[in-house]
Structure formats: C-alpha cells, structure tokens
Amino acid sequence: MKSIKLVSVVFLLVFAACNSEKKEEKAVVKDDSSKVFVITLDGLRWQELFSGADSLLVENKEYVGNGKELKKQFWKESAKERRAVLFPFIWNEVSKMGQIHGNRWEGSKMNLTNGMHFSYPGYNEILTGKADDKRITSNSKTPNPNKTILEIAEKTDAYKGKVAAFGSWDVFPSIVNEERSGLYVNAGFRKAKGTDLTEKERFLNELQDEIPSPWGGVRLDAFTHQFAVETLKKKHPKLVYISYGETDDFAHDGEYDAYLKSAKRTDEFIEKLWNFTQQDAFYKGKTTFIITTDHGRGTEPLATWKHHGNSIENTDQVWVIAFGNKIEAKGEIVSDEQLYTNQVAASVAKILDIEIPTDSIGKPFTFIK
C-alpha cells in the first residue's frame, strides 16, 4: 500500500499541473431534454453510508494499517457525524436537495432481486431491470444476453450517439454487450480513442500505462472518473453510466482504511460531476443523478465484511440515492418502505421518456417525477 499511496501523491501533483492548462471549450447546442447519470459504487455497504466508519473495524489491526490515523480522520461519536465525515457531499448537500433510501435502522429497505449477490448479476439487474439467475451466474466476460437501458436508449433516434458508459472493471464491455449495443464504452484499462483527443485524454492514456493498479482487472477509479469528465465536456452524452470499483476491491483485500478513503474520494468525484452539470448549459437544470450499488457485504461474523455472495447473510441489502431535476427534496427517508434494484432501469426510462419493451422489469421508483 505504501507504493500505491506514493504513486497517488505523484498522480495528484501531475494532474494538478495538467489541469492548470487552458482548454478550448466548444459551443454547446441547447437541448432541453432530460439527462440522467447512473452511478454505482461497487460493493459499498449501507452500514457505512448511513453510519460512517464501523467501530469494530476502524482500529482493527487485522484490517487497518494505522488505526489511530484512520480514527482521527473518520471517527466521531454519533453516526450522523461519522457519515458526514465519510460522505460530506451526500450528507451536507444531497440530503437537502434529493433523497437517500436504504437505512434499514429507520425502516427504509432496498434489496436485490437476483439470488447471486455478486457483481455481474447485480449490474445486470441495475441496468436491465430484471434478474437473470439462469444465465448470469458468474463474473466471466460473457456478452450479456439481456438489453440494458443504455442499449435501449442508444437504439432510439433521440439518444443515438448520446449514451456513454465508464467503468473501472474490465467486464463492463460484456455487461453492456458492447458489440451488439454499439455503445461508447471506456472500461478496465482502455484508453480514450479517436482523432479528436484532448490534451488531457492523451495525458491520461500515457499515465494509465505508467501507474500500476493493485488489481488485474480493475483500474484505479481516478482514471475512470477523469475519462468520463473529458467525454462529458467533449460529447455531452444525455445518458451516462459510471461505475467506480475501488471500494469492492479494497474490501476484498481486507484493507478497511483504503475502503473508507476510496469511499470518501468517490463522494468527491460525485460532487465534482454534479457541480459540472450545474455549470454546463447542456446539463444545468435538466439532469438527474441516480446512485446505487451492485450488492451488499457481510457483517457477521466480522470477517465477512470483506465478502459477499448468497452464502453470506444479508448481502442482498443495498441502497439508492437520487437528486436533481426529477427528484423532490425529501432527504433521508426514515419511514417504512421496500425498494428493489430492479426499479432503476425503469426509473431511468421514465425520466428519459423511453419505452422499455417488456413488463417483466421492476416499476419506476415512486419518487421519480
């Protein structure tokens, strides 16, 4: 981890220098249609989202390198204070302008409908609106036989060429069935392509080769985020999917400190995306964010926090956050309710006024206008 931390420092310093350069901005064509950002944080537990750092893990020597440092950074006496330290944008800003669902301590529940409780089945359910436990049974790079809301949108006249998917995991081209769908996908260790690359995209392409990832199939989320931002500026897609992956991989590695720090960094990424949409004429006042996760994690025994899957209890417990143009400001939901992951795709379709040619998927969330 020391080497990764050192590289991260160098990465940030170089990136700061790169970002200081002047950039030419293209004129944006006015478009009053709705836009949607679907964002996922791989394997982020609802427990951290709603109560911040776990008291049983934050100083646990088995999972934390420097417990005193981590506790100083993330520990507060109350759950509300801890979660605001871990997710400052979500709890200080989103809680005022949107909705946050899934705090089971308050009666708000959200669950997967697939029986697998791991990534590919979870992402399939999020993006297609239905579980497929007969055909989606592994994380192998098998082209998805089901059509995602991304593909359905791409095939319409209104959204053709205006859908983009970004992911840190290299299985996403298969999950969205890139070949059949014709989607623009930048995932895994892919580079930005095209004849009109920005200076920053060329820099990212080079840097990605020079900074190693701790994992074979997942790149660092900073690359996924920055590639997405450059595409937003250049192409202005109307439907955007971004999957951040570090939280799951650091958890599998048993590195609770890195898991928390990555979660906080992703909160910062989401804030930057939102701020961009509020400053860009194409997106301002017309954009909705829907944020969720592909699966939960274990809690008891304690070691199961690292893992998930249907052999571990309660790993179907997830959450959802929504804010923006089509969302009424109600903050954290503290009443009894039951939501499901299979409702996400239908909710996106409702916002974009796209017809999904099946009635077997979940219904849109009732809080979508």
The closest of 240, 210, 119 to 172, measured between CA atoms, is: 119
pLDDT score of 279: 97
User: Other C-beta atoms within 10 Å of 61: how many?
Assistant: 8
pLDDT score of 226: 98
- pLDDT 10s digits, 88-120: 999 999 999 999 999 999 999 999 999 999 999
d(CA 122, CA 119) in angstroms, rounded, equals 5
C-alpha pair distances (Å), 134 with each of 18, 161, 176, 349: 47, 32, 18, 25
CATH number at 35-352? 3.40.720.10
What residue ranges of the chain have pLDDT lower than 70? Answer: 1-29
CA 51 and chain centroid, separation: 19
User: Angle at the Cα of 105 (from 104 to 109), degrees rounded to 5?
Assistant: 15
d(CA 87, CA 246) in angstroms, rounded, equals 16
pLDDT score of 357: 78
Cβ proximity of 149 and 340 under 8 Å: no
First to last CA, the chain: 45
- pLDDT 10s digits, 239-250: 999 999 999 999
Domain boundary assignment for the chain: 35-352
Q: Which amino acid is at 211?
A: I
Cβ proximity of 356 and 349 under 8 Å: yes
d(CA 121, CA 145) in angstroms, rounded, equals 12
Question: What value does the mean pLDDT of the chain take?
Answer: 93
DSSP string, 146-159: SPPHHHHHHTSTTT
pLDDT score of 65: 94
pLDDT score of 358: 76
pLDDT score of 102: 98
- Residue 38 per-residue DSSP state: E
Length of the chain: 369
pLDDT score of 10: 46
pLDDT score of 259: 98
pLDDT score of 245: 98
The closest of 328, 324, 302, 322 to 313, measured between CA atoms, is: 302
pLDDT score of 29: 63
DSSP string, 45-106: -HHHHHH-S-TTTTT-TTT-S-HHHHHHHH--SSHHHHHHHHSHHIIIIIHHHEEEE--GGG
Cβ proximity of 206 and 192 under 8 Å: no
Coil, strand, or helix at residue 10? Answer: helix
The closest of 296, 270, 340, 329 to 108, measured between CA atoms, is: 340
Element (H, E) at 316: none
